[in-house]
Amino acid sequence: MRGQPGRMAVSECRKTFPLKSKDVEAKWFGFVANSKYKPLIMPPVLVSKPARVAAAGTKPKLIDEYIGRVNTETQGLSVAHMRSPGGWVEPGQTPDFDEYTVVLRGTLRVESQQGVLEVKAGQAVLTPKGEWVRYSTPEPDGAEYIAVCHPAFTLDGAHRDQE
């Protein structure tokens, strides 16, 4: 076994401690990774390309998921690069996840029951789970942004409004 003395590689852990499901495995390895005994060495993992995910809304929007349930089978977090055209409007939703969004280009409009935010390039917005929200891109040139969802985005977990 390579690595630091007293530590066990992931493949060795899986052979030594076989677990029946990925959720249990994730909890076990997460616990081990946060424990002071740290028998686990997890090397960096390259995500060589994103997965294109279908989008909702009035105009076509591009969603490239780098990390999440579709591309990496990651349940706890998703990271996606979004590009939406001017005039795009997504259905309102009351998600089961927190969403952190960083706008790279243009303006992203975020409507909630408390009002409307215009999030511009270089700014970010946090939309907490359980809060009704609707996203849109009001400017003619659209917007480009990175969205991080915790836990990972799911269509069922978005609880979109009926159109």
Each residue's pLDDT, cut to its tens digit, for the chain (163 residues) gives 444 444 445 455 455 555 444 544 455 455 444 555 555 677 899 999 999 999 989 899 999 999 999 999 999 999 999 999 999 999 999 999 999 999 999 999 999 999 999 999 999 999 999 999 999 999 999 999 999 999 999 999 999 998 6
* Residues in Cβ contact with 65 at an 8 Å cutoff, skipping those fewer than 6 apart: 50, 51, 52, 53, 71, 78, 79, 80, 153
Question: Residues 28, 32, 38, CA angle at the centre, nearest 5°?
Answer: 155
Is residue 37 within 8 A of residue 31, CB to CB? The reply is: no
Q: How far apart are CA 131 and CA 98, in angstroms?
A: 9
Residue (of 44, 47, 45, 43) closest to 2 by Cα position: 43
Q: Which pLDDT belongs to residue 40?
A: 63
Torsion angle, CA of 43/44/49/50, rounded to 10 degrees? 100
Q: Copy the structure tokens of residue 34.
A: 């946060």
pTM equals: 0.75
Q: Copy the structure tokens of residue 50.
A: 């994103």
Q: Which pLDDT belongs to residue 161?
A: 96
How are beta strands 62-67 and 143-150 bridged, if at all? Answer: unpaired
Identity of the amino acid at 108: L
Q: Which pLDDT belongs to residue 41?
A: 73
Q: How far apart are CA 61 and CA 87, in angstroms?
A: 11
